[in-house]
Chains A and B, each alone.
Chain A
Amino acid sequence: MAIIERPAVGTPVLPESPVAPTPVGTYGVLRRPVTTTGWKRWVFTVDHKKLGIMYGVTAMFFFIVGGIEALLIRLQLAAPDGKVLNADLYNQMFTMHATTMVFLFVMPMAAAFANYFLPLQIGARDVAFPRINAFGFWCLLFGGIFLNAAWFLGGAADGGWFMYAPNSGPIFSPSHGVDFWALGLQMTGIASLSGAVNLIVTVLNMRAPGMTMLKMPIFTWMILVVQFLLVFAMPVITVALFLLMFQRNFGATFFDVAAGADPLLWQHLFWIFGHPEVYILILPSFGIISEVLPVFSRKPLFGYPFVVFSGAAIGFVGWGVWAHHMFASGLGPVSVAVFSVATMAIAVPTGVKIINWTLTMWGGKLVFSTAMKFAIGLIVLFTAGGLSGVTHSVAPSDTQQTDTYYVVAHFHYVLFGGAIFGLFSGFYYWWPKVFGKLLNERLGSWNFWLMTIGMNLTFGPMHILGLQGQPRRMYVWTEARAGEGFFNFAFWNLVASVGSLILAVGVLLFLVNVWITWRRPERAPLDPWNARSLEWMTSNPPKEHNFDAIPAVAHLDEFFHRKYEEDPATHTMRQVATAEQVLADLEARADAHIHMPSPSYWPIVVALALPVIATGLIYSHLVALVGGIVLLFGVYGWSLEPSTAPDSDMDPPTNGAVPAVHHG
């Protein structure tokens, strides 16, 4: 039983209950997992921190996969008449590179941070639905594996990440790649959707006493906005993917132009999802650097409510700009004008954020840690990408840029320079919190500079290539058409390819850094950065139950206000307590009785049914039926299992002998 019994200081220890618990038997078919050692500790866990780490490891793995795909693309384009990939393989490579980076790296990595830190930041002991949380992770993992399984089963998806119809139909994409893609994304979609419902309820319902919405850490706020975007955006792509699947596997006519279908249907459905999606990718990173910048500037975040509400504004306006991806499709002047203006408008709340971050640093005592460097890198590079984005909002200009490398340059500046730099900032900032060790700052500095130089060399020249007319997704270019002088293709393609190698070395240094840190024995201090928010008000790494006592919150930046007080004479902040003292104070009032959710077999069983069903839909409906039965079995087992088990429900029963903490 996942109950933590610890004697509260000053009160007598409760005597063991003399009555042995009556066995009630198990509710489901499988008994509860109790052996919480080795791999079972992880596979059957419902702990948000473990799941956060599992999300992180999975995302990092797919980051490397997507990175290798990117390197192959750049290798192919480094010189004229590239021979590394043929046209077919090249199509698969860019499709899977984008799909992997968007759905299997940035989204799950943001989910890793959200899972791990959101409950800690709001002073909760877990999320609202711990088993759904575990289920979401397994859906993501199985979906990711399923998506990539296509590589070995006749070729991966090759229609580009937005998979326009009718190019995605069986005539132009005859392999099963698109089927794997559509079904794999359904699985990761279920992961996102269940995660979103879970995190929304967690934030709205499980905040520590006193933490009003406007006292929530800014990262939690941005994650909340993202979850709302997910809740409303995922079902739209779900519909689109279903239509595509019905078309390919069951003879529906949705994208059959001969039957009178409208090719814009897919584009609208995809981008109604796809544009909120880009904010889903970037807002978590905005949240991360909004935590990092104040800490390393030794100042509170400038204009906290403005950062909150501009984030929410981005979330709202993000729904009204999707057709700017379709300016070249002949929408008509009114639509184009409306979406053009809306797109310009969304630059305003984004600009508000950039100004707030800059003013947070203004006059601060800046500490240039690696986390801070990545945060500043985000501001600069995202602004560059944002400005080229504004040029896209001007429809006549966009019509020239559509499907050129200029677009590729733009979205890599905002997604690599923005989203990924934010995530790296988060790695360096929160590593000691998660693993109790500090990443090496010297290597971190190399990591940052190589990535910055590499990314600018890779994506900077793409502006030039695009404006010179190099089309996106072109698998080869020839010497004869490379042009001459400063703007010739040959030189800038080579620069971009060299840049991508530098970038890869930068990322490799991060992995080396992780390895070295792993091997070193030194523990990080309790509060290495002099941080401000609640997640630092616990040990490194946090205990199973996060907080010994749920802290009552009186301020935004509660932890900071427990360490520092304003001197009424000089109006300066002076330290009144160390982090250790704050923590000791909390421990002194520790709760005597803490219920934690018990581990469960069901999330992974239910999630495992999905790839079976998906495989069956592609190859044999009989297999899908088997998957359906597993699903039904799992859902019943799940719904009959209480989230916190009595002792007698354990296998073997623990008979009331309650050890300190004994679940995974």
Chain B
Amino acid sequence: MAEAALHGAAHGAAHPHTSTGLSNVKLGMWVFLGSECLLFGGLISTYMLYRGRVSQGPTPAQVFDIPFTSVSSFVLLMSSLTMVLAVSAAKLGDDRRTNLWLTVTALLGATFVGGQVYEFTAFYNEGLGFGTSLFSSSFYTLTGFHGVHVTVGIIMLMSLVGIFRRSRVPGSKSETVEMVGLYWHFVDIVWIVIFTLIYLIPV
């Protein structure tokens, strides 16, 4: 990620800026997120095809705890707000607040992942194994992929906090925070779609 930041920053005024005006890292991140849309597109399609196919084991209506998942979804969405505050603090060069909001975002994300772990355990105890039915396989795969994305995001957030503390960030600091922010918001937006399709629309 640092490459383009350096390209822009280190070369300074001696070289013209990029052709689009966007930095390489930002443009690359957008292209990558475009690609991620198709990844979740494929997983969501698989779930939508199979959500009603329960040959054995519990049905969606039997296992879903909608109030619980709504709360954890709300927590995840709030983490987007704190992420915005982190990006804004980083732009202003306020290191203390940047670290604070990054940590809060990571904690909110961890709460969501914790909720997901609890949910998976509860479902498993109710008899919904990974290979129980087409519904269970596609449910665990879709939400699992999303959970892994959130986890990767948390790792990036905490790494940023650690790296900033030892002031070892190559390239522009505020841009690095912004990139992690882009990724974080994307993962949140995908959850809105997943939550609606899985939990809110009856089979």
Asked if B38 and A201 sit within 8 Å, CB to CB, the answer is no
A265 to B46, CA, bound (A): 7
B1 proximal to A (CB < 8 A): yes
Query: If A231-B34, A642-B171 touch, does A252 touch B131 (CB 8 Å cutoff)?
Result: yes
Asked if A232 and B34 sit within 8 Å, CB to CB, the answer is yes
A346 to B35, CA, bound (A): 24
Query: If A239-B42, A259-B55, A259-B133 touch, does A197 touch B31 (CB 8 Å cutoff)?
Result: yes
Asked if B170 and A254 sit within 8 Å, CB to CB, the answer is no
> Which residues of A249-264 are within 8 A (CB) of B?
250-254, 256, 258-262
A243 proximal to B (CB < 8 A): yes
> Which residues of B133-157 are within 8 A (CB) of A?
133-134, 136-138, 141
> Which residues of A184-210 are within 8 A (CB) of B?
193, 196-198, 200-201, 204-207, 209
Set of chain B residues within 8 Å of A636, measured between Cβ atoms: 159
Set of chain B residues within 8 Å of A642, measured between Cβ atoms: 2, 6, 170-171
| Interface size, A (range) | 35 or more
Majority SS of interface residues in chain B?
helix
A252 to B39, CA, bound (A): 19
Asked if B141 and A201 sit within 8 Å, CB to CB, the answer is no
A636 to B162, CA, bound (A): 12
Set of chain A residues within 8 Å of B3, measured between Cβ atoms: 128-132, 597, 643
Beta-carbon nearest neighbor of A250 in chain B: B130
Asked if B24 and A243 sit within 8 Å, CB to CB, the answer is no
Which listed residue (B24, B42, B129) contacts A201, Cβ 8 A? B24
A350 proximal to B (CB < 8 A): no
Distance in Å from the Cβ of A316 to the closest Cβ of chain B?
15
What are the 4 tightest A-B residue pairs by CB atom distance, in nearest-first order? Answer: A239-B42, A251-B131, A642-B170, A235-B39
The 0/1 profile, CB within 8 Å of B marked 1, for residues 222-253 of chain A is 00000000011111101110110010001111
Pick 17 A–B contacts, CB within 8 A, sort by A.
A27-B170, A197-B28, A197-B35, A198-B28, A201-B24, A205-B4, A206-B24, A232-B38, A239-B43, A250-B131, A259-B53, A259-B133, A265-B46, A269-B42, A272-B42, A641-B170, A642-B6
Which listed residue (A131, A253, A644) contacts B134, Cβ 8 A? A253
A621 proximal to B (CB < 8 A): no
Set of chain A residues within 8 Å of B18, measured between Cβ atoms: 205-206
Which listed residue (A131, A238, A254, A639) contacts B138, Cβ 8 A? A254
Asked if B4 and A204 sit within 8 Å, CB to CB, the answer is no
Asked if A242 and B38 sit within 8 Å, CB to CB, the answer is no
B202 proximal to A (CB < 8 A): no
Asked if A128 and B46 sit within 8 Å, CB to CB, the answer is no
B49 proximal to A (CB < 8 A): yes
A530 to B150, CA, bound (A): 55
Beta-carbon nearest neighbor of B34 in chain A: A231
Set of chain B residues within 8 Å of A129, measured between Cβ atoms: 3-4, 24, 28
Query: If A636-B159, A642-B6 touch, does A205 touch B24 (CB 8 Å cutoff)?
Result: yes
Distance in Å from the Cβ of A285 to the closest Cβ of chain B?
24
Beta-carbon nearest neighbor of B3 in chain A: A643
Distance in Å from the Cβ of A645 to the closest Cβ of chain B?
10
Of the listed residues B1, B24, B31, the one surrounded by the most CB atoms of chain A closer than 10 A to its CB is B31
Set of chain A residues within 8 Å of B203, measured between Cβ atoms: none
A104 to B14, CA, bound (A): 41
Which listed residue (A131, A200, A254, A256) contacts B46, Cβ 8 A? A254
> Which residues of A620-664 are within 8 A (CB) of B?
636, 639-644
Query: If A129-B28, A260-B53 touch, does A235 touch B137 (CB 8 Å cutoff)?
Result: no
A272 to B168, CA, bound (A): 43
Of the listed residues B4, B22, B171, the one surrounded by the most CB atoms of chain A closer than 10 A to its CB is B4
